Structure 1
Amino acid sequence: MHKKRNDYFKGFDFYQMLKKLLYIGLLLAPVLVNSQSCPSLLSPIAGSTNVPVEATIVWDEVPGVPGYRISLGTTSGGDDIVSNQLVGSATFFSPPFGLPENTQIFVTITLFFFDNQGDIVCPSIPFTTESITAVPECANLSSPINGATNVNASTNISWAYAPRASSYEIDLGTSAGNNDLGTFNNSGNQLFVNPPANLPTNTQVFVEIRSFNAIGQSIGCITQSFTTADIVLNLGCTTLISPRNGDSNVALTPVLEWVPVSGASGYRVSIGTTPDDNNILQDGLFTNNRTLVIEFEPNRTLFVTIIPFNDLGEAINCGQETFSTAIGCGPFLDRVSGEFITLFPELDFPDTISLCDNSPGITLSTSTLAETYRWALITSRGTEIELLSETSEAQITEGGLYRLDVSNFADPNGNNIPCTTSQEFTVEVIPGPNINAIDVERDGDNLRLTVNVSGNSQYDFALNDINGPYQDSNVFTNVPLGDNTVYVRDKNENGCILAQDVEQDLISEGFPKFFTPNGDGFNDFWQFIPPPNAEDFEILSISIFDRFGRLLSQIGGDSIGWNGLFNGRPLPSSDYWYRAVGIDNREFKGHFALRR
């Protein structure tokens, strides 16, 4: 989880004020994501003709728009066919009763927002429907479904729209082909019948639905049926108490509560982000009339259906209610600029980073301004295994797959919502030069340095300045006594540079370049040996480190030396670094090889 601001300011009275100031600041300086725009129709396309009357309307998604309303009419901006229907985040809509034939239809899409500042009504887009030349298709039961059992005898009968139908005739009977329970005629904008009396209990009810249009009647339709329960159930529907139907800016972790229904033993709850979808919760069973919801998504319109039930059956024809969650990270519309904005940080970080072999590591940083940072090393499976840093910088010492998370926090209704942008990147280890040794020779009052390197590339060399000048020769002459540093650079594109200090004058010759702690009694310990020209020079202490700066051992100048162990375990063949302090407080640095 991302660390929240209260982890840093826990216990301070100014935390809430600071958090609000941060949120206001983000709103005043938003990241622009795109200009306000209205969608174009994908199907039917604008101005098209001969469009099927059962067509589904499909439009472009507009980035940053959390929801849509749609109206269909026979005039520009009209809604005499469908009036301002909320469809949530869906970018399609199927007219529930089809479309009139041979008619110019105008589609009006409204961009729906949650900030109570008014929606954006887009210009109407026209198309023209076909002239119907065929009879309608058959209609299928939607409630009760064909073959259902234990159906409440007080049920309504509903069916799905039959393409090309303009009206319907329904026979209900206790046997196939019979209408002893009634015949009902419906216009095309009514897809249900409510029998005037309850149906007989414990009875198979047969339903014949005939679809009509100006051409004629549907052909070859099957008889459908369902079976009623033993007892008539008069169980009512419920309505939301909290949040209320139509509420906006609802907390992301709310308590859903609805009116209890007398006689109900439980409730089936379905929640979706479009009217026809239960993608959040489908038929969740609850024995009481309230439940806590953990973290709805922000900027969402939610469609909720609650159906009471008991052992005898369930309530019928319960309607759908909606509410909208709080504005979180966005995108949402800035009414002043007319732009869509987001509180997600804008992160621009490379996919691949190069790490030179034999280097102590690199420091990575991001210029992204954010409230929190998180650098992590992850495995190939995507499982986080090591947190590296929680600042804008991180020290990388090995290759692998990494992730950088940068977060701001939105605070609607007291919700500390992390607005996180993430970037995975790979650190590739590329071969660099190896400095095997630097030969130091006295040349009068100066030194002659010969840099011995190995590697699979071409290298050049610089002295005491990483920026050069670089030379092709590995020999430096007339080098003054004192502190000197040699730089070896790969001349290829990777440009790896390896630096090594050249210790002060010839005292450095007393530090062996390698040792072999293999127990053969020869060269098993690493220790300073005063060179012949510095027999009286004394080393007080030597600290030995690995390539990552971890202290491995500290020895005195009079000890037998280091045996290549750390915590009692032999270390592998590799390069190791030393820092020695002389009797005159001079400091000597360098590295040597452990060979096995």
Structure 2
Amino acid sequence: MLRNKYLPIFIVFLLIINPVNGYELLDTTCSKNEHINKIKHYNYAPPLCTGLTMPLDGDTNIAVSTGLSWTRVSNATGYKLNIGTAPGANNILNGFDVGNTANYQNSNKLPENTIVFVVITPYNADGDALNCNEESFTTGPDIPPPNCTTLLTPTPGAIDIGINPLFSWQPTNTASGYLISMGTNPGNTDILNNEDVGDVTNFTHMNDLPNGTTIYVEIIPYNLAGNAFGCQDFSFTTGAVDLRPECTTLTTPIPDSQDVPVDTNLTWEKIPEAVGYIITLETLTDNIDILNRFDVGDTDIYHPPGDLPGSTTMYVTITPYNIYGETENCLVQTFSTGLEDVYPPPKFFTPNGDGINDIWIVPNPINRIKYVCIFNRYGKLLKQLNDLSEGWNGTFNGIPLAKDDYWYNIVYNDGKNTTGYFSLVR
């Protein structure tokens, strides 16, 4: 009896449908002693379409040397390009396979001032993407990159330049804008890095430049064709000038004024460059007896915590400062206070018959005042108050006076006097 030297192999084929990955074809044997062979094959669908990212669909005034870029598709293994100058045309590129990349740079310029139509078709082993949309953009004129420009101000090589100069440069005919870089060493951009200032020929940096430093500036013109090439740095040096603020002046009390109320506040002119003020206030005794270099911060008023000494000459030094330091050699300003326990008269009164603030009365708690005279702005005597408690009701010979400023002269028992003004308000 003839016997087959090969063992029979019975194979059952199992086909499994996978709706996502295609199908699997598996073979299994009936016995554990028999060989097991498996065959697999996965079927992926063709990729989806993509779209331009540069230029965008509908863009205009695009450089004729532009490249194309698009969004990658995850299961694509390559891309084909059709480019033409009419819808559906491929007179520039016809199904050109760029491989598995998401950008393309044509070796030739595109036609100028032309609508260019593009179709990008992703593909993989299972075929091309279907029915991809056609996109388009419009090119601008075919011009070369612009020439470099020249810094006009500050003058290249200049010294002692301010820390916030105006930069200006020579216009370049074909430039559509300018990029500016600045640094403290050649080629550095630690101050400004490729700032696009647009189509202008002057610029002011928003921050102060470092003082006493050589500044290197590069200005690069650009247009549709690209940036100017090989532009040189220009340099200048900022000046080591005194950037501290100017001194200020007392506004209240007015310097050299007399009989200033002991409860006065101090005010002064605000200096734009200052960020704060240091006050020294003294009576020129052996020691600074009221304020010794007191930092009041960024304000233009100081309220002493208590009354100043009466009948005394006060010496005030106000020193502005900023990040560059304190101002030096500011003048000492003086004023003299009046008697202690003498209170200033009211700044205004309202004689309108409502029973509130109808009478102007000068305080005299310890009877130091002899009398008070009231004048109009032309110096005419309107009223002399010998009895201060009587006050003044705002009339002259029984006739109500108009709202205005009126002047007073307070005469004290020791012969001193104080003058000032107040307002009648109706």
- TM-score normalised to the size of structure 1? 0.29
In terms of Rg, which structure is larger? Answer: 2
Give the structure-2-normalised TM-score: 0.38
More helix by share: 1
